[in-house]
Amino acid sequence: MKRLFKRLAMLMSLVLMVNATCISAFAASDKTMDDYKSTITASGFSDSFSVYNDDGSVSFITRNISSDGKTTVVIHSANGTKTINGHVDFSSLPVSGKINTAITRANVHSSTFNHTFVTSNEFEASKDTANLSKDVIFAILSSGSSLTGTALQTFANKVYNNLNKDVHSILIEESIYEVTFKSDGSYYTHCFHENVIAYDANGNVLPKNSYNLTYQQVGG
């Protein structure tokens, strides 16, 4: 009987070890972006982060945005470096890189707030330019979007996960609004509306792969 219990105990320990390994492996594969850092400089804004690709490799991405909006994004990977240039409206950049945690307590699209249009950005990615790889998709989104930090990570991950064999290219229209209280006009946050339009190889819109997203970040 003691031997039986001992064997059962060893078997349970083995099962727990296997489960722990599977959970650990799943958590590692689910990781997409890490090590985000940002710096405000005299000439503009810069940030950097790591991207975990599906093949297990890790790419390091740096983004520099000058005060005139010119954006230079560099991908550092095992295959070398790749530079992607773009443009954003620097005046609406949420330099803190943090989502406005206060939005959990209020709906910014409610009657309590005013939405005032500030600016817009537009950019696209295709299989020809990105090959739909995760690090390049993240870099292209960084080159044309004013999002930073956690919001950039959430947005880029959403876009990447919605790409499939039917999608040949995507166009992203980003509209940015300043949100203020109606009661006294005081500033609350910035609201970013991301309109993602997917196209097939013939240029036809794919409704099932097109969608709208909104994010709120303090900045501007």
Per-residue DSSP letter, 203: S
Whether 14 is covered by a domain: the verdict is no
Strand-pairing partners, residue 49, are: 61
Residue 112, both tokens: 């309590």
Range of the domain at 113: 32-217
Residue 50, both tokens: 């790591």
Q: pTM, whole model, 2 decimals?
A: 0.73
Q: What is the structure's pLDDT at 34?
A: 67
Whether 206 is covered by a domain: the verdict is yes
- Measured between alpha carbons, how far is residue 135 from residues 32, 73, 159 in Å? 9, 11, 12
Q: Helix-strand-coil percent breakdown of the chain, rounded to 5?
A: 30, 40, 30
Q: What is the structure's pLDDT at 12?
A: 36
Domain count, the chain: 1
Q: What is the structure's pLDDT at 97?
A: 52
Whether 11 is covered by a domain: the verdict is no
Whether 199 is covered by a domain: the verdict is yes
pLDDT at position 75 over 90 = yes
Per-residue confidence at 35, pLDDT binned at 50, 70, 90? confident
* CA–CA dist 160, 176 (Å, integer): 22
Whether 8 is covered by a domain: the verdict is no
